[in-house]
Amino acid sequence: MAFLRSDGYWYQSRREGNRVISEYIGSGPFAADLAALSNLTAEMRRHERWEEQRAIDADREIDRQIDEINGLIRMLTAVELMAKGYHTHKGQWRRRRNHAGSS
């Protein structure tokens, strides 16, 4: 992050391990313009990350809704098949056999 001190000197902060290093970049109107540009660029990156997170959250919500609808469809299908005399065997739906002597 860039910051312009009240005395007109521009410093750029960077991280080295656990330490934050402030590095002198320049002074005067040109330095002020560069600092403003640097801060604008950082703000644009923050906005892009925010937009990406918003898109990820929207996709997750759509996936959640699809999973919920899929579960309801599976449940309704199972109820309908059981009502028609089917059962599951090793994960597959099969029609119940008619045993001799049963109606």
Q: Is residue 38 domain-resident?
A: yes
Output the six-digit token pair for 12.
């750029």
Report pLDDT for 4: 63
With respect to residue 103, please indicate whether it lies within any of the assigned structural domains: no
Asked whether residue 39 carries a pLDDT value surpassing 90, the answer given is no
35 part of a folded domain: yes
Average pLDDT, the chain: 87
93 falls within a domain: no
The range of the structural domain enclosing residue 60 comes to 2-87
Please tell me the total count of domains within the chain: 1
CB 35 within 8 A of CB 4: yes
34 by Cβ neighbours in 10 Å (0-12 / 13-18 / 19+) ranks as middle
* Strand positions, DSSP E, 1-103: 2-4, 9-16, 19-27, 86-89, 92-95
Q: What is the pTM of this model?
A: 0.58
97, part of any domain: no
3-state DSSP of 70-100:
HHHHHHHHHHHHHHCCEEEECCEEEECCCCC
The confidence score (pLDDT) of residue 100 equals: 56
